Amino acid sequence: MVDQTSPELVTLERLAADFAGRGRDALLPALWAVQTAYGYIGPEAVRVLSQTLDIPEADIYGVIGFYSMFYDRPAGRTIIRVCTSPSCGLAGADRALHTLCDRLGTVPGGTTPDGQYTVEQTTCLGLCEHAPAALVSRQGAGEQQYAPIDIDAILAGQPGHHNGVIGSMTRVLLRDLPTDRAQTLAEYGEYVALQRALSDLMPEEVIAKIEASGLVGRGGAAFPTGLKWSFTRRAPGTPHYVVCNADESEPGTFKDRVLLEIRPHLLLEGLAICAYAIGAEQAYIFIRGEYPLATERLQQAIAEAEAAGYLGENILGSGFSLHVEVRRGAGAYICGEETALFEAIEGKRGYPRIKPPFPTTHGLFGKPTVINNVETLCKVPGIINRGGRWFRQWGTDLSTGIKLVAVSGHVQRPGVYEIPLGVTLRHVLEALCGGVVGELQAVLMGGAAGTFLRPEEIDVRLTFEDLRAIGSTLGSGAIMVFNDTVDLRDVLRRIGEFFQHESCGKCYPCQLGTQRQKEILDRLATPLPGDRQRLADIGQTMTESSLCGLGQTAAAAVLSAMRQWPELFPA
Amino acid sequence: MAEPASTVTLTIDGQSVTVPANTTILEAARSIGVDIPTICAHDATTPRGLCRLCVVDINRGRLLQPACIVPCQDGMVVETANERVRTSRRTILEMLHSAVDLSQAPAIQRYMAEYGADPQRFPEGRRREHPVLDDNAFYIRDYNKCVMCWRCMQVCAEDAQYIFALSIDARGFSSHITTAFDIPMPESTCVFCGQCVGVCPTNALKPKIEWGLEQGLSPDQIRETSRGMRRRQKPIRVE
Give the tens place of pLDDT for each residue, A229-242. Answer: 999 999 999 999 99
Beta-bridged to residue B177, according to DSSP, are: B168
Whether A503 sits inside 8 A of B171 (CB atoms) is yes
Q: Residues of A numbered 20-39 whose beta carbons fall under 8 angstroms of chain B's beta carbons: which are they?
A: none
Q: What is the DSSP secondary-structure string of A318-359?
A: SS--BEEEEEE--S-GGGGSHHHHHHHHTTS--PPPPSSSPT
* pLDDT tens, N- to C-terminus, chain B (239 residues): 455 569 999 999 999 999 999 999 999 999 999 999 999 999 999 999 999 999 999 999 999 999 999 999 999 999 999 999 999 999 999 999 999 999 999 999 999 999 999 999 999 999 999 999 999 999 999 999 999 999 999 999 999 999 999 999 999 999 999 999 999 999 999 999 999 999 999 999 999 999 999 999 999 998 888 877 766 556 566 65
Band (A80; pLDDT cuts 50, 70, 90): very high
Which residues of chain B neighbour A68 with C-beta distances below 8 Å? Answer: 171
Provide the pairing of β-strand A451-453 with B55-58: unpaired
- CA torsion, ordered B183, B188, B192, B196, to nearest 10 deg: -70
Task: Compute the distance between CA of residue A292 and CA of residue A295 in angstroms, rounded to an integer.
Answer: 5
Give the tens place of pLDDT for each residue, A253-274. Answer: 999 999 999 999 999 999 999 9
pLDDT on residue B4: 58
Ramachandran area for residue A518 (φ above 0: left; ψ -120 to 50: alpha; else beta): alpha
Q: Residues of A numbered 349-388 whose beta carbons fall under 8 angstroms of chain B's beta carbons: which are they?
A: 349, 354
User: Residue B89 in 3-state DSSP?
Assistant: helix
Whether A60 sits inside 8 A of B180 (CB atoms) is yes
Whether B52 sits inside 8 A of A545 (CB atoms) is yes
pLDDT on residue A1: 44
Give the tens place of pLDDT for each residue, A452-494. Answer: 999 999 999 999 999 999 999 999 999 999 999 999 999 999 9
Answer for the pair A188, A347: CB distance below 8 angstroms, yes or no: no
Smallest CA-to-CA distance from A229 within A368, A355, A370 is with A370
Question: Is the minimum CB–CB distance between A511 and chain B shorter than 8 Å?
Answer: yes
Q: Residues of A numbered 45-104 whose beta carbons fall under 8 angstroms of chain B's beta carbons: which are they?
A: 46, 56-62, 65-66, 68, 72
pLDDT on residue A198: 98
CA distance B96 to chain A (A): 7
Model ipTM over 0.90: yes
Whether B181 sits inside 8 A of A512 (CB atoms) is no
User: Residue A303 in 3-state DSSP?
Assistant: helix
pLDDT on residue B239: 57
Q: What is the DSSP secondary-structure string of A133-165?
A: -EEEEETTTEEEEESS--HHHHHTTPPP-----
Return the number of other C-beta atoms located less than 10 Å from residue A236's C-beta.
Answer: 6
Answer for the pair B70, B41: CB distance below 8 angstroms, yes or no: no
Which residues of chain B neighbour A500 with C-beta distances below 8 Å? Answer: 172-173
Question: What b/e readout covers B35-62, taking b as 16+ CB neighbours within 10 angstroms?
Answer: ebbbbbbbeebebbbbbbbbbbbbeeee
Chain A interface, best mutation among B70, B111, B120, B167, by max A CB count within 10 A: B167
Give the tens place of pLDDT for each residue, A89-142. Answer: 999 999 999 999 999 999 999 999 999 999 999 989 999 999 999 999 999 999
Task: Compute the distance between CA of residue B67 and CA of residue B88 in angstroms, rounded to an integer.
Answer: 14
pLDDT on residue A2: 44
Whether the ω angle into residue A239 lies within 30 degrees of 0, i.e. cis, is: yes
Task: Compute the distance between CA of residue A484 and CA of residue A455 in angstroms, rounded to an integer.
Answer: 11
Task: Compute the distance between CA of residue B66 and CA of residue B92 in angstroms, rounded to an integer.
Answer: 14
CA distance A320 to chain B (A): 31
Nearest CB to A505: which of B51, B172, B179?
B172
Task: Compute the distance between CA of residue A402 and CA of residue A570 in angstroms, rounded to an integer.
Answer: 41
pLDDT on residue B236: 62
Give the tens place of pLDDT for each residue, A518-543. Answer: 999 999 999 999 999 999 999 999 99
Check pLDDT > 80 for residue A6. no
Smallest CA-to-CA distance from A305 within A219, A222, A189 is with A189
Task: Compute the distance between CA of residue A103 and CA of residue A124 in angstroms, rounded to an integer.
Answer: 23
Inter-chain Cβ pairs, chain A and chain B, closer than 8 A: 148
Whether A511 sits inside 8 A of B173 (CB atoms) is yes
